[in-house]
Amino acid sequence: MIKIKYKYLLSIVILLFISCNQSKTSSISEEESESAKSIPHLKKQGNATELIVDDQPYTILGGELSNSTFTSIESMEPVWERLKTLNLNTVLAPVYWELIEPTEGEFDFKLLDDLIIKARNNDLKLVLLWFGSWKNSMSSHVPSWVKKNQEKYPRVKDDSGKSHEILTPFSNNNLQADLTAFKTLMQHIKEFDGNNHTVIMVQPENEIGMLPTARDYHPLANEKFKEDVPKELMDYLQKNERELVPEFYTIWNKNGLKINGTWEEVFGKGLHTDEIFMAWYFAQYTKQIIDSGKEIYPLPMFVNAALNRPNKNPGEYPSAGPLPHLMDVWKAGCSSVDMLSPDFYFPNIKYWCDLYARQNNTLFIPEHRFDNTVAAKALFTIGHYESLGFSPFSIEQIPSKPLQPKEEKLAKVYDIINQIKPILDINKGQNKIEGVLLDKDVKEVLLVFGDYEFKVSHTFNLGWEPNSSSENWEPSGAIIIQNDENEFFYAGFGVSLTFKNIKNPNLNTGILKAEKGYFKNGNWNVYQHLNGDQTHQGRHIRSFNDDVTIQRFTLYDYE
């Protein structure tokens, strides 16, 4: 009897032990799987590059804060709600070197931590901009102990020997001080955010460039200028001779495609060579910053550029940054950077994006002036270039309620892009996604999807809009996705589509079915079955300029 009791008790104990252990294991594995989500990273899908956040593709529906807003909790307080109203999923925000290391070697991350928590609570991701050695061609954000010790932390000099408030990239002291701060920042982000992934990318420095002198004439720089072009750059040029961007190749070719020599021997004498020389050393300095940061916490990292004004010489615009004509120098000198990114304060976005899409460069637009074109351009760049995302600058400005028209349109566009995300994600990199941007200069474009050619017109061009005679056409834009052989999605505004079968031109192409709707939890919901006047009796798919909408349609052919 006792024996039986003892056996019985023993089995209860064993069972309890097993079940305890089982529940322990499962809770550990939940925790583990939470923290085991991969660090935000880039991944190739077909011919596109995707940003992966928490193991899922992520499109940045972003906005960059104006420079000083993210410097106190109080200043950010009224902003969070506004960012949510704009339907942002990501905020681009600076980290000032002077604020995290006010005294040499003593770091203070309290403000940053509090802001990260606020972002997290608002369900927003962060792209942090490291305002370190350089911000807009200046060194305004370096701490006072760097500013006040010019002997230790030397600056760029112009050809008259005058110093400028730009740290020289030729000083190891400058590099080491920035490196220490950046490494400490990345270590801190890893420790504080490594399990949450609120911070998804980092931009080291900001709009690096030389202004108002094209070349640094500091003695350290002069020394380097006399030396031969580093072998690393010469090797890259020879290896990639046929792929170099034409603007750069022309310079090298004009001087005889020399494979060694000083900067002036290889590239000729002139401001263009001064710029190439500076670009190389800026790129090398940035590479060390990026490498050291990624070694600690390998988030994707990009550098941004202030675009050069046409017909200006180096030194008259912020020169030597990651500009299109210097892509090769930056790719060779800073191989660990993930993207070279343009900032837009001038028109012609297509012209510049086409330049930045060369050399396998993944497109990401960290800054665009917050004007009435941003909604259309977000659709265009995310559709046409399958860019990682888009971000108007000074996103929190005009804190008016309700939203102004341009803000409202951006909010609606971000909402529809977010809705179509699942079908964007699966069709990426397979020539099934397009983006259009139409205005009074580009009223119509042709797109090809499989057998079909789409004629895409600005609705103003067709005379349907109430103000279509006005000269002041609002830009319009759309993303079009071929989701199946004959099934398409349209997400946009102010665009009309007509169709032609180019594989078999004897056939006519008609609309089999058209729906206006929305995605909820990834499922398509029909709001209206579109026909009659809404499709011009089956002739086209369209939405007016004030109708930011998603439509699903299928095409068919008849004789």
Taking the complex as a whole, the smallest distance from the CB of residue 358 to ligand DGJ amounts, in Å, to 22
Is residue 61 within a helix (H) or strand (E), and if so which, with residue range?
A: strand 60-64
Of the pair 170, 182, the CB lying nearest ligand DGJ is at 182
Taking the complex as a whole, the smallest distance from the CB of residue 100 to ligand DGJ amounts, in Å, to 18
Which residues does residue 130 pair with via DSSP β-bridges, in sequence order? 95, 204
Of the pair 126, 244, the CB lying nearest ligand DGJ is at 126
Burial degree of 24 (CB within 10 A; 0-12, 13-18, 19+): exposed
One character per residue 209-248, x = contact with ligand DGJ (rule: CB under 6 A): ----------------------------------------
Helix axis angle, 271-296 to 219-226, nearest 10°? 100
Is residue 191 within a helix (H) or strand (E), and if so which, with residue range?
A: helix 172-193
Token couple for 207: 């709009």
- Cβ atoms 472, 441 nearer than 8 A: no
- Phi/psi of residue 542, each to 5°? -155, 160
- Phi/psi of residue 194, each to 5°? -60, -25
Taking the complex as a whole, the smallest distance from the CB of residue 43 to ligand DGJ amounts, in Å, to 27
Of the pair 61, 306, the CB lying nearest ligand DGJ is at 306
Taking the complex as a whole, the smallest distance from the CB of residue 115 to ligand DGJ amounts, in Å, to 17
Of the pair 345, 527, the CB lying nearest ligand DGJ is at 345
Of the pair 164, 412, the CB lying nearest ligand DGJ is at 164
Within 8 A by CB and 6+ apart from 179, the residues are 288, 289, 292
- Strand ranges (E), 375-520: 389-393, 433-438, 444-449, 452-458, 476-482, 487-493, 495-501, 508-520
Choosing from 274, 275, 367, 386, the residue that interacts with ligand DGJ (CB under 6 A) is 367
Taking the complex as a whole, the smallest distance from the CB of residue 392 to ligand DGJ amounts, in Å, to 11
Residue 206 sits in the site that holds ligand DGJ (CB under 6 A): yes
Residue 496 sits in the site that holds ligand DGJ (CB under 6 A): no
Q: Where are the alpha helices (DSSP H) in 298-404?
A: 327-333, 349-356, 374-384
DSSP class of 439: -
Closest CB to ligand DGJ: residue number: 207
Of the pair 135, 384, the CB lying nearest ligand DGJ is at 135
- Cβ atoms 438, 380 nearer than 8 A: no
Name residue, tokens 């192409």. Answer: 509
Residue 67 sits in the site that holds ligand DGJ (CB under 6 A): yes
Provide DSSP, 109-123: -HHHHHHHHHHHHTT
- Cβ atoms 303, 202 nearer than 8 A: no
Of the pair 136, 534, the CB lying nearest ligand DGJ is at 136
Of the pair 136, 255, the CB lying nearest ligand DGJ is at 136
Pairing of strands 487-493, 476-482: antiparallel
C-alpha distance from residue 449 to each of 205, 356, 434, 482 (Å):
40, 24, 9, 7
Of the pair 130, 393, the CB lying nearest ligand DGJ is at 393
Taking the complex as a whole, the smallest distance from the CB of residue 207 to ligand DGJ amounts, in Å, to 4
Taking the complex as a whole, the smallest distance from the CB of residue 135 to ligand DGJ amounts, in Å, to 7
Taking the complex as a whole, the smallest distance from the CB of residue 343 to ligand DGJ amounts, in Å, to 5
Choosing from 136, 240, 288, 292, the residue that interacts with ligand DGJ (CB under 6 A) is 136
Within 8 A by CB and 6+ apart from 77, the residues are none
Nearest to residue 199, comparing CAs of 278, 281, 307, 293? 293
For the segment 309-338, give every residue that binds ligand DGJ (CB under 6 A): none
Residue 187 sits in the site that holds ligand DGJ (CB under 6 A): no
Of the pair 328, 343, the CB lying nearest ligand DGJ is at 343
- Alpha-carbon gap, residue 202 to 112, rounded angstroms: 14
Of the pair 207, 407, the CB lying nearest ligand DGJ is at 207
Of the pair 66, 359, the CB lying nearest ligand DGJ is at 66
Distance of CA 403 to the CA centre of its chain: 25
Choosing from 178, 207, 274, 338, the residue that interacts with ligand DGJ (CB under 6 A) is 207
Number of residues that bind ligand DGJ (CB under 6 A): 7
Of the pair 328, 367, the CB lying nearest ligand DGJ is at 367
Residue 343 sits in the site that holds ligand DGJ (CB under 6 A): yes
Within 8 A by CB and 6+ apart from 383, the residues are 433, 434, 435, 436, 477, 478, 479, 480
Residue 205 sits in the site that holds ligand DGJ (CB under 6 A): no
Taking the complex as a whole, the smallest distance from the CB of residue 479 to ligand DGJ amounts, in Å, to 27
Taking the complex as a whole, the smallest distance from the CB of residue 94 to ligand DGJ amounts, in Å, to 7
Q: Side chain identity at 7, as an amino acid letter?
A: K
For the segment 387-426, give every residue that binds ligand DGJ (CB under 6 A): 393
Give me the residues that bind ligand DGJ (CB under 6 A), please. Answer: 67, 136, 206-207, 343, 367, 393
